[in-house]
Amino acid sequence: MELKTVYFEKPGRENTEEVLRTAKQRAEELGIKTILVASTRGDTAIRATEVFNKSRVIVVSHSTGIREPNTQEFTEENRKIVESKGGTILTATHAFGGLSRAMRKKFNMFVLGEVIADTLRIFGQGMKVVCEISMMAADSGLVRTDEDVIAIAGSSRGADTAIVLKPVNTHDFFDLKIKEILCKPHF
């Protein structure tokens, strides 16, 4: 089998439109109806709901308090727009963070979740995020673990990475299989 992977010269939001176009084309080819999108503030989420208007779009945001206690970065205005376009927003503890981050902050030590996250980052920040959001969505019951999805993420703002995978629950992480890398930055 021969498949095309798009490589971007550098990471970042300037790749968002091409990521969404590439992911939509592949979703149509494979008959994938569920799209996962990482979005911190909601701008990428809005665009994804516009592009994937015939698909089920699940947006995974940062957990509340990740930057500052009691603060949610996904704006209320963007939340309303995404939901009005049929998107679902999941806000939950990051699968690789959570207690691992607490251990690092309190005891200055790295534990398994952060080691796995850093290992995935050798393929790019977006690759770590697409794996993480797929587990978060599976753990919340928003995606099934027996159906392929397309997961989209980025390196900071916007999107620069898209993959096809079959999600797993966090406790089954080592069974996660990335089936196709649709696009990512070329480092």
Domains, in order of start, for the chain: 6-64+71-185 (3.40.1380.20)
Average pLDDT across the chain, whole number: 94
Rounded to an integer, the average pLDDT of 164-182 is 96
Instruction: Name the nearest CA neighbour of 142 among 48, 44, 34, 40.
Output: 34
The whole-angstrom separation of Cα 172 and Cα 70 is: 30
CB-count burial class (<10 Å; 0-12, 13-18, 19+) for 114: middle
**Residues 6+ away with beta carbon under 8 Å from 177:** 165, 166
**Residues 6+ away with beta carbon under 8 Å from 100:** 110, 111, 112, 113, 114, 117
pLDDT at position 99 over 80:
no
Note the pLDDT tens digit of each residue in 7-65: 999 999 999 999 999 999 999 999 999 999 999 999 999 999 999 999 999 999 999 98
Given this model, what pLDDT does residue 65 score?
87
pLDDT at position 79 over 80:
yes
pLDDT at position 110 over 80:
no
Rounded to an integer, the average pLDDT of 99-114 is 82
